[in-house]
Amino acid sequence: MNNKAWFYVGLTSVFELIWLYGFNRADAPWQWALVVLFIFMDLNFLAKACQYLAAGTVYAVFAAVGTIGTILMDTFLLEQTISTAMMVCMGLILLGVLGLNLSDPSADEEEENHG
């Protein structure tokens, strides 16, 4: 398992949540400039992660973290409500990403090529 690659996946996921939060809060031009900066940083680490892991794997994790993180951010930071159905769906997203990653035969090849 390539720790650097997963570190990049973690960074891109965090930066995605930061700029999404910025979309909700930015008013001044300098705040929008920070949002754009975080978007570029997000894309940079997304590209770096794809150098080491299969793009499908990276994107599945990235999208899952972004989706679940956005819902949790809306709930805890923006005081939106979360329903039981939403929590069940978040669990299904996690199970789906885990299932995709575990059943991906190219993951073993990627590990051999970059490990």
- Asked whether 93 and 67 are in contact (CB, 8 A), the reply is yes
Give the tokens for residue 97: 């990403």
- SS3 state of residue 88: helix
Percentage of the chain beyond pLDDT 70 is: 89
Q: What is the mean pLDDT of the chain?
A: 87
Cβ 101 vs Cβ 57: under 8 Å: yes
Integer angstrom CA distances of residue 47 from 10, 11, 44, 76: 13, 11, 5, 30
Give pLDDT tens digits for 4-54. Answer: 989 999 999 999 999 999 998 999 999 999 999 999 999 999 999 999 988
* Mean pLDDT to the nearest integer, 90-115: 73
Can you tell me the distance from the alpha carbon of 55 to that of 63, in angstroms, rounded to the nearest whole number? 12
Domain positions in the chain: 3-110
